[in-house]
A and B are shown apart, each in its own frame.
Chain A
């Protein structure tokens, strides 16, 4: 009974591949279904790939910076799913933890700190959009042409379940390689990553200090530009300004109320 929960999707592929190979043995009714022998790995890949690409395009298309941040979160989360599907579990978890959970929270924080009504949606002109669309399309065509030009990349996947990479990865970061070299690569002389790891550590420390120094609250003699703007704008009561903003179909005025107003 409790074994029900013990599903292990790695064996999923082990089970599916023979099923695919012998095209489908029993149950003739099921065989008539068009989805017979569906490969869950491919289905999940399509799902995550569609999410990642769709939300990436949505980031470009959106004008509202908060929406952009949200779409970016979904796009990068789906990318983490792609990493899991490729067998790079540690990288996927790292992507979720550092990228989605750390960097993007920071980004959203920055967005909210600067999300005044006039700044939330800085629109690009339509000529810029056209130009970007043309440039983007040509770049995409170039990249795809390059990707499709190598025959070795077109081969379907081997479905060889890779060994877990967390421990070899950790060992490589402290300078010892314990992983078996992949086929076709030179067997000896593979480098450990001790020095890059140390450099990155020091780099992170420098960034930590530097960012804290840059973003610290400074004592100033002259009023900041942001304060000047805030005092120049009439500060209305929040309720009234929100109502007027909705009635007139545009974000409420007043720097302070706009900060909490969330108008687009």
Chain B
């Protein structure tokens, strides 16, 4: 897009500013629009699982306007703050959570080269930024001046920090197979038929995918790991004291993270934007070039990835409404005694498989042997992945500051 604008005669910096703005708005819409759809879907699915109907009135037969109506209601709600709360931190916490969730989307590819910022260390970046979401929860728990919130925050901190270990181990396996941390290249390596997906690469990756699912559910605090907001013991956990728009920021952050870990699973294990059957390749279209056919292929890939990520989110909802909540000690046991050792063994197994059986068991499957590869060395699109420039991470943090300081000036309890 920036090249297009430069072609129009705009100077480079302005063209890039506009392109960056458009990308940011698009990504923001992915989260906001995703949250709207997923909240509606969650209500319908929960209702079906519990043999109810769910929303039926608002917006026609299926109640598909329900979450929009909820959003308007949340906007109109009074913004309450407990008396003993730490004002600055209380106001800041939802934005910290939301920014962390949003910033991780920057490095996530939606189709070949359809990515906010192609990073050489994208996998690492996404996992790292996702881990920052816990700060919002801790701050919210501390600043709310409520027992429930503090307990919720403590649980969340322990849980998220623990689950980052097995999650990191799971994520490393596709990185090892692809030989790069660039998500675009990892997705590209799995092009072709469904058997090329890393899920079916060898038995170890198949197992480790399910470990990843467990850890991902835990790291985004969904049931059965939603200890931080266990409503039967802790009222609503860390967001007990929140209402209105601030509460909805937490909610959007949660749904954004769900979509993110699902999309990450899709790229790492489920072939990314490559469908189960390489339709476009069979027809003879190819991606990577600038003609309209390539754009069509990318659009197809975009649909593929979003479909896979949505399936992942639906799976999480299914799990949530099926399994009972674990106790905190059971959560830690699952992490430390099961997920971590299994992930470690599977990691070693995948490593030896790649070392001794790089071609797979069947003679017909020819896969490239293990080698040191990196996206910038052989990049399919020929796009250099090196960036000296921004991560974009802290832009979000900066954006929270003005609104917050102004909020403090207008309404401070002390």
The residues of A with any CB-CB pair to B shorter than 8 Å are: 1-13, 15-16, 18-19, 24-27, 30, 36-41, 44, 47-48, 51, 64, 66-67, 70, 73-74, 77-78, 80-81, 84-87, 89-90, 92-94, 96-97, 100-102, 104-106, 108-109, 112, 115, 161-164, 166-167, 171, 238, 242-243, 245-246, 249, 252, 259-264
- Which listed residue (B9, B13, B124, B395) contacts A90, Cβ 8 A? B124
B157 within 8 A of A: yes
B2 within 8 A of A: yes
- Which listed residue (B13, B153, B302) contacts A40, Cβ 8 A? B13
- Which listed residue (A2, A19, A39, A161) contacts B299, Cβ 8 A? A2
Which chain A residues border B391 with CB–CB below 8 Å? 80-81, 84, 89, 92
Q: Is the CB of B390 within 8 A of A81?
A: yes
Q: Is the CB of B388 within 8 A of A161?
A: yes
State how many residues of chain B have any CB contact under 8 Å with chain A: 86
- Which listed residue (B15, B128, B414) contacts A101, Cβ 8 A? B128
Determine the distance from Cα of A162 to Cα of B386 in the docked complex, in whole angstroms.
Answer: 7
B143 within 8 A of A: yes
Q: Is the CB of A66 within 8 A of B372?
A: no
Q: Is the CB of B116 within 8 A of A5?
A: yes
B384 within 8 A of A: yes
Determine the distance from Cα of A25 to Cα of B92 in the docked complex, in whole angstroms.
Answer: 44
Which chain B residues border A40 with CB–CB below 8 Å? 13, 16-17, 389-390
- Which one of B132-140, B229-237, B252-260 contacts A? B132-140
Q: Is the CB of A15 within 8 A of B16?
A: yes
Q: Is the CB of A90 within 8 A of B389?
A: no
CB nearest to A246 among chain B residues: B83
**24 chain-A/chain-B pairs, Cβ below 8 angstroms:** A3-B298, A6-B113, A7-B19, A7-B116, A10-B387, A12-B2, A27-B10, A38-B13, A47-B398, A51-B394, A86-B388, A90-B124, A92-B391, A100-B132, A102-B164, A108-B135, A109-B158, A112-B150, A161-B388, A171-B372, A252-B84, A262-B84, A262-B85, A262-B86
Determine the distance from Cα of A171 to Cα of B119 in the docked complex, in whole angstroms.
Answer: 19
Q: Is the CB of B84 within 8 A of A245?
A: yes
Given contacts A10-B389, A164-B120, contact A5 B23 (CB under 8 A): yes
Q: Is the CB of B181 within 8 A of A101?
A: no
CB nearest to B385 among chain A residues: A164
Q: Is the CB of A12 within 8 A of B16?
A: yes
- Which listed residue (B6, B113, B114, B161) contacts A15, Cβ 8 A? B6
Q: Is the CB of B26 within 8 A of A4?
A: yes
Q: Is the CB of B295 within 8 A of A101?
A: no
- Shortest CB–CB separation between residue B5 and chain A, in angstroms? 10
- Which listed residue (A3, A6, A13, A260) contacts B145, Cβ 8 A? A260
CB nearest to B373 among chain A residues: A167
Q: Which of A4, A36, A37, A47 has the most CB of B within 10 A?
A: A4
Which chain B residues border A70 with CB–CB below 8 Å? 89, 92, 139
Which chain B residues border A78 with CB–CB below 8 Å? 394, 397
CB nearest to B143 among chain A residues: A262
Which chain A residues border B53 with CB–CB below 8 Å? none
Determine the distance from Cα of A19 to Cα of B1 in the docked complex, in whole angstroms.
Answer: 18
Which residues of B from 1 to 57 have beta carbons under 8 Å from A? Answer: 1-2, 6, 9-17, 19-20, 22-23, 26
Given contacts A78-B397, A96-B125, A245-B84, contact A19 B116 (CB under 8 A): no
